[in-house]
Chain A
Amino acid sequence: MSIIIQDLSKTYPNGTQALRHVSLHIPTGMFGLLGANGAGKSSLMRTLATLQEPDSGSILFNGLDVLKHKQRMRQLLGYLPQEFGVYPGISAERLLHHFAALKGITRVKERQEQVKFLLHQTNLYEVRHKAVSGYSGGMRRRFGIAQALLGNPQLLIVDEPTAGLDPAERVRFLNLLSQLGENATVILSTHIVEDIAELCSNLAIMAQGQVLLTGQPQQLMNQLAGKIWMVEIPRDRLPCYQQKFQVISHKFYLGQLRLHIYSNDALTADFTPVQPDLEDVYFCAIAGLLGNQLVMSERSK
């Protein structure tokens, strides 16, 4: 159940290069996609979801040429977009039935069972007769997840899935996803670094249409071991430190600025070495300090 993306490129009519020679190998399991807005995550997801045609490149899903056989792909996939609307005045149950039927679940009994199961899974069973257009933001997102899961898809693409969920819902949802990840490929695109750290066996970091970094979370974090340092400074000293050091991130913390600094060499005692987390990996990748090229060159050294 793996996806092989080769050299995917896409430029929009107004000149924006959304994807630039993107190549990825996504095995079965949870795959995280991390990146800023406009990095190309959504474009990639939409292309995988057969909603967009790339300019060049190929995608193979278990050997199936996705771009050539879109219809077949749609039979296997579930997609939860980042932003979506619903038809006004239709209940969750009816809309889910409609989508299920369109997904090819023609046997009424099977459909009923699947819809019932998913409504329970997403905690919408109590309100299944109410119109989806009247749901709160979180409920609407849960509905989106439910419809994506119809038909037990082999590839599940979820774009910002936990946005708008309260902590309990988030945990439930992530559990559900990881259960699915046992037998299917789940591509999870998010800003919430913790979600990826906790769940994903592989990840990719994208920026400006390119893949900056791929790998396993733990491995990547290990690569930074001993290279991340922390210091707390007053706010106005920031420019000074930025000049002297490789500041990869700064945060406000109790009135002071807390800086994370990347340094191959040891630093003075003011600086505290920290265990690198995925966020540090992300910032380093963005800064160009970590990358597939870099990783390669590190290995070859």
Chain B
Amino acid sequence: MNTFLEVLRFELTEQLRSRSFYFYVLVCFGLSFGSINLLAGAFSDVQVAIEKVNSPYAVLVGLTALSAIALLVAAGIFSQSVCKDFEAKTADMIFSLPIQPRSLFIGRWVAATIATIWILLSLGTGYAIGEHMPWLDRENLLPFNSAGYIYVYCYFILPNLLIFSGFYFSVGLMTRRTLLVYLTGVILFIGGGILSHIFNQWTAVATSVDATGATALAHITQFWTSTQRETQLPPLTIEFLINRVLWISLSVGFISWTLYTFSIAPKFSRSTKLMGRSPQVKDLQLSLVPVHQSFDPLLQWRYVASQSWVEFQSIAGNRWFIVGLLLATLPPLLIAGSSVGLVYQTPLYPLTHLLVDQSGGLYTQLFKLLLIFLAGDMIWRDRSAQIHQLTDVLPIRNFVPLLSKYVALALIILSTLGMVMVSCLLVQTLAGFTQYEFSVYFILLFTKALPELLILAALSFFIQVAIQNLYLGYLITALLLFIVPQTAAFLKFPNILIYGNTPAAPYSQFDGFGTALTPLRAFQGYWSSWAVLLLSIAFLLWQRGEDKTWRSRLKVAIHRWNRSLRYFLIAILTTMMVMGGWIYYNTRILNPIVSERQVEISRVNYEQMFQKIGTAQPQVQDIQLRYELYPQQRRLQATGRYELQNQTKQPIQQVLINLNLDNAAQINRMALGSITQPSMNQILYISPDLPVAVRAFRLPQPLLPGEITTLDFELTWQPKRGFSEFQQSYGLTTNGTSLDGILPTISYELEAELTEPEQRSHYGLSPRPQLKTLADQLQLGDRLPPQPLVTWTVTVGTSKEQTAVVPGLLQREWREGDRHYFEYRMKQPVMFKMPLYSARYEVRRQQWQNLPIEIYYLKGHEFNVNRLIRATQASLEYYTQNFSPTPFGQVRIFELPREQYAVSLPGTIGFAEYIGFLAKVDQRNPNSIDYPSYVTAHEVAHQWWGHQLVPNLRLIGARTMNEMLSQYSALMVMEKLYGEHTIHKILEHELEGYFLERSSTPEEQPLVSSDADHVVYRKGAVAMYALKQTLGEDTLNQALAQYLQEHSITSPSAPPLPTILDLLQAIKDVTPSDRRFLISDWLENMIIYDAQAIQATAVKRSNGRYEVTFTASLQKFQTDKKGNETPIDLNPQETVEIGILGENDQWLYRQSHHLTSGENTIAIAVTQLPKQIGIDLSHHLLNRSFKNIRVTPLIVPEQIRT
């Protein structure tokens, strides 16, 4: 006890006297203070979160994240406190004292814990004080609430301290090496994070494997709406408590075990052989053996090579390091590699660049941490082994140690990347995928990742050399590598100012890296020169000998500054300025980025100049166009003519023409009728990088209603000069051209106006009419005209090996020289959306009842082509049977590079590679869904819902109609192809998608008035399927078919415009009156349910039947826009399905029941063994507890019951 108290007193006094302690406190305080101010908008106007940033939940999340820094610092504190006797060599003195070693270490541990608690408290203090700062806008903040702080400390920060400190301490005591203590922290943090990410679907594993408890927290709150996040704190679920108890026990157990097995005997590593017996000293012949010493300067470079190898071996030869690294890279990659790019539980084929990107995603943090810790360990090795007194005297030049350590670190990074590559190759081989693409591995790993890591390593080295304290060096490097880049990116600093940042270079098998490599190399060159500069300064400051004060180091630095160094630095600085200048030129001058303010001003000008004109504009009726595409030069020319008709009731004096200026579009010629010069010419910025040229042409005589005029134009597009610092544009590329929206449009865009009332009044604009509902919009009448319906004839010329396409029927195809020409014609008027695709396509052709089906794909992407064909056939079959005949005599699907979307045009579908072509569908896995077919069915459905039924896309509800109906159609096709079980799986995914995306939406709308993806796609799918269940497939389809017939653009008489409201009515008309509430619930209101299975028992009777008693809970909620939930009663007509599945997943029982709110107990008898019992197994409810709808019953033999 005495030992314990004395050690505690001593250690605490030392902590309080050490400068680094106060530094840590200050840093933590500063970080949290800065964070809350940053989030609350003290430094910029950027809106970071959709809810208030000081809600208890936000405090919880923020402080947990910040405590990561503190735990990193803690690693240093704990390792120092436990290793100090061994590192300071006081072990012999201390342990010969009459103390209990266990008391000593427990005392040290308690002292370090108390010190760390102080540091952790400074985090909360900084946050709390930061909240109260007078310069913050109180509008963004809630009143101060201590609940979040108490919660996070009780359940996260303090338990995590207990857990991590136990591990740090035990590892430190066992291994007596600081580096390994840090590695423990890294493994607990990062390893836990990676594993929980990989095992995401197995909640129990994912939440248990993360020592920080963050995953458990994420799982509890994953579906929370912003209102919940603003008002609630997460409840303590069983998984969370298990996580805490498990890890605390592990930690305490670990400490106990280490203390129990601790012995003060020195650690003999097998490699160190003690010289026990001195060899017999023979009489010394005292004549000296002559040797030659060479001091050739070139030898210094040989020393660098040999010393690098020594340094490399000292780390890479450490078996813990190798084992740790192998464990960290191989298994996660192997597991993750088989599930890369999961969509609907179906992975993509393990393409090289996907695997490498995934490893990058998994391991970026790990690599950065490795860099930090290895740099420190390597730089301090000689001093901590006390060997510097010998090595500093050797005749080696000053640069040799620094350079060799850097080279050694480079070798370590190289080997690690090599291991990553081997793992990826292994993944590919095991999956039977042999498209290895070694050049891609090489470029991505060794010419992208490697230089980036080396640049960061230089910074790491510099910090460690400059700062005399290992732990402080770790902290500062961690801040520079993690916190600073995030903050700078958040504040929208350009890449040129964020150390080490380079633009992304996404790869596609279509066109490789596109143009992304040039800017990448430019930035790499720029940052490399910075790295060399930092290393040079490190060289000047390199400590050789014992002089530690800054004055002596500066003197030494000045002494080392010689002429060759001066020239060298001049060369470096010149390179830096040249590269930096070139980057600046390309990113700021050639392609200037406008500020938000300029965007606002351009929008104001647009409204002021063009709003009056825009009230009446002619409609495009027909297009004659000739494209000349030169893919190799990435150049496109277009010569075209629009036929415009005044379809309004007023004469039109001025015509408004917009042209998207992307891809360096140039207007060579534009003439309206005979007018060749515009009267008004303006650039409108929709966003900082989306300029639109707006021209108004004044007609000499006004165009009367019904009159026709023409617009002639000649346009060119070519590669943008220079590069931007963000994502490069890939529309015009050497293979896989995909351009849309590049042709002129004739309209006034209401959306370009400023919408915020404060903004409008600031610029002196009158307030806009509120357009919250469809009714409001309909009142605007002509100001919201529908899209024109256009016909066209387009000739496209492309290079000889490529196939080019626009929507329409192919009229003819020919070759001229080394050009390849196609002529397309769209005979019936359709929506004016005319993308242009061109690539070296392979094609597969099939039919469905004489209707040609063609799939155009990239060679090597054949995997799902037949699937797409089959899905198209099944879709055409179902839709023609149930809705209407197919209107556009073909279905052609074209593969597009890089994206994850598909777009449906009349007869033509653009289908990006990641949304179906590269999917690895595993028929044997019941959980994996054939989403290529699902997407195909959806896109083919758009040929009906969107191209026959053509709502005005500017009106609220138009998107809902298109997407909801297409989702429904696609579901029906999938049901025909795969059966009901697959539908349930799909609905589960849609439910998950809905609730997840809803949690990040500030405002929710019902289906009839929403535009949001998660509502129209996800909720729409579940809604329509549920409605189908209620109404019956045939009834619903008939209603839809009828609606289509009345509103289709192919109907001979001018059809009324379809709107969501009259679609709603059409559905209501076929719904029995006692079920009409469902239509309202699903479509007009926002209703969600919470239905869970609680428990079930099944008593086996002597006659072989089972009596099942099942308890489930059910609650219906009405939600408002913000996500506030109000419980409401179930509708008296409402039923919920209760189902019982047998051993082969067959339905033993399936009935709808009238249930009540709250707990319900139901008794059912079945004839076979029940395996699972559930509520709403078929997902007819928008049930947020959709993951907890089933239980396995407890089988009870009859005797026990009586």
Which residues of A are interface residues toward B (Cβ below 8 A)? Answer: 12-18, 36-38, 46, 49-53, 71-72, 74-75, 77, 79, 81, 83-90, 98-99, 101-104, 106, 144, 147, 208-209, 235, 238, 242, 250
Is the Cβ of A102 less than 8 Å from the Cβ of B276? no
Contacts of B265 in A (CB 8 A): 52-53
CB distance from B4 to the nearest CB of A (A): 11
- Decide yes or no whether B289 CB sits under 8 A from chain A: no
Q: How far is the CA of A228 from the CA of B96 in the complex (A)?
A: 43
Is the Cβ of B89 less than 8 Å from the Cβ of A103? no
Is the Cβ of A102 less than 8 Å from the Cβ of B6? yes
- Decide yes or no whether B563 CB sits under 8 A from chain A: no
Is the Cβ of A13 less than 8 Å from the Cβ of B98? no
Tally of contacts, chain A with chain B, CB under 8 A: 90
Is the Cβ of A79 less than 8 Å from the Cβ of B93? yes
Chain A residue with the shortest CB-CB distance to B14: A90
11 additional A-B residue pairs with CB within 8 Å, beyond A14-B276, A16-B276: A14-B273, A46-B92, A71-B98, A74-B97, A85-B88, A85-B89, A87-B84, A101-B6, A103-B98, A208-B277, A209-B277
Chain A residue with the shortest CB-CB distance to B286: A235
Q: Evaluate whether A18 and B276 lie within 8 angstroms (CB atoms) in the complex, with A51-B96, A77-B96, A99-B93 already known.
A: yes
Q: How far is the CA of A58 from the CA of B286 in the complex (A)?
A: 44
Contacts of B98 in A (CB 8 A): 71-72, 74-75, 102-104
The interface size of chain B toward A, counting residues with CB under 8 Å, comes to: 31
B356-379 to A contact mask, C-beta < 8 Å, 1/0: 000000000000000000000000
705-728 of chain B: CB within 8 A of chain A: none
Contacts of A104 in B (CB 8 A): 2, 98
Q: How far is the CA of A14 from the CA of B274 in the complex (A)?
A: 7
CB distance from B797 to the nearest CB of A (A): 78
CB distance from B249 to the nearest CB of A (A): 31
Chain B residue with the shortest CB-CB distance to A90: B14
CB distance from A54 to the nearest CB of B (A): 12
Is the Cβ of A38 less than 8 Å from the Cβ of B89? no
Identify which of B10, B95, B96, B274 gathers the most chain A CB atoms within 10 Å of its CB.
B96
Q: How far is the CA of A144 from the CA of B94 in the complex (A)?
A: 12
Is the Cβ of B96 less than 8 Å from the Cβ of A84? no
Q: How far is the CA of A228 from the CA of B171 in the complex (A)?
A: 59
Is the Cβ of B88 less than 8 Å from the Cβ of A106? no
- Decide yes or no whether B761 CB sits under 8 A from chain A: no
Q: How far is the CA of A152 from the CA of B1074 in the complex (A)?
A: 100
1-46 of chain B: CB within 8 A of chain A: 2-3, 6-7, 10, 14, 18
Q: Evaluate whether A84 and B268 lie within 8 angstroms (CB atoms) in the complex, with A90-B14, A98-B6 already known.
A: no
Contacts of B14 in A (CB 8 A): 87, 90
Is the Cβ of B278 less than 8 Å from the Cβ of A38? yes
Q: How far is the CA of A264 from the CA of B277 in the complex (A)?
A: 31
Is the Cβ of A84 less than 8 Å from the Cβ of B276? no
Is the Cβ of B97 less than 8 Å from the Cβ of A99? yes
Is the Cβ of B278 less than 8 Å from the Cβ of A37? yes
Contacts of A79 in B (CB 8 A): 92-93, 96
- Decide yes or no whether B139 CB sits under 8 A from chain A: no
Q: How far is the CA of A98 from the CA of B90 in the complex (A)?
A: 13
Q: How far is the CA of A18 from the CA of B268 in the complex (A)?
A: 15
Q: How far is the CA of A144 from the CA of B100 in the complex (A)?
A: 21
- Decide yes or no whether B393 CB sits under 8 A from chain A: no
Q: How far is the CA of A171 from the CA of B10 in the complex (A)?
A: 35
Q: How far is the CA of A207 from the CA of B265 in the complex (A)?
A: 23
CB distance from B206 to the nearest CB of A (A): 43
Contacts of A90 in B (CB 8 A): 14
CB distance from A31 to the nearest CB of B (A): 18
Contacts of B275 in A (CB 8 A): 16, 38
Contacts of A103 in B (CB 8 A): 97-98
75-115 of chain B: CB within 8 A of chain A: 84, 88-90, 92-100
Is the Cβ of B92 less than 8 Å from the Cβ of A81? yes
Q: How far is the CA of A18 from the CA of B265 in the complex (A)?
A: 15
- Decide yes or no whether B264 CB sits under 8 A from chain A: yes
- Decide yes or no whether B137 CB sits under 8 A from chain A: no
Identify which of B10, B18, B84, B264 gathers the most chain A CB atoms within 10 Å of its CB.
B10
Contacts of A242 in B (CB 8 A): 283
Chain A residue with the shortest CB-CB distance to B100: A71
Partner of B99, one of A36, A102, A147: A102
Is the Cβ of B6 less than 8 Å from the Cβ of A86? no
6 shortest interchain CB distances as A-B pairs: A16-B276, A85-B89, A74-B98, A81-B92, A79-B96, A38-B278
Contacts of B3 in A (CB 8 A): 102
Contacts of A88 in B (CB 8 A): 88
Is the Cβ of B96 less than 8 Å from the Cβ of A49? yes
Contacts of A17 in B (CB 8 A): 276-277
B241-264 to A contact mask, C-beta < 8 Å, 1/0: 000000000000000000000001
Partner of B96, one of A16, A18, A50, A250: A50
A to B CB contacts below 8 Å, 16 in the list: A12-B268, A12-B274, A14-B268, A15-B276, A18-B276, A37-B278, A38-B275, A38-B276, A50-B96, A51-B96, A74-B97, A101-B2, A101-B6, A103-B98, A208-B277, A250-B283
Chain A residue with the shortest CB-CB distance to B19: A89
Is the Cβ of B89 less than 8 Å from the Cβ of A102? no
Q: How far is the CA of A297 from the CA of B718 in the complex (A)?
A: 109
Q: How far is the CA of A295 from the CA of B268 in the complex (A)?
A: 39
Contacts of A250 in B (CB 8 A): 283
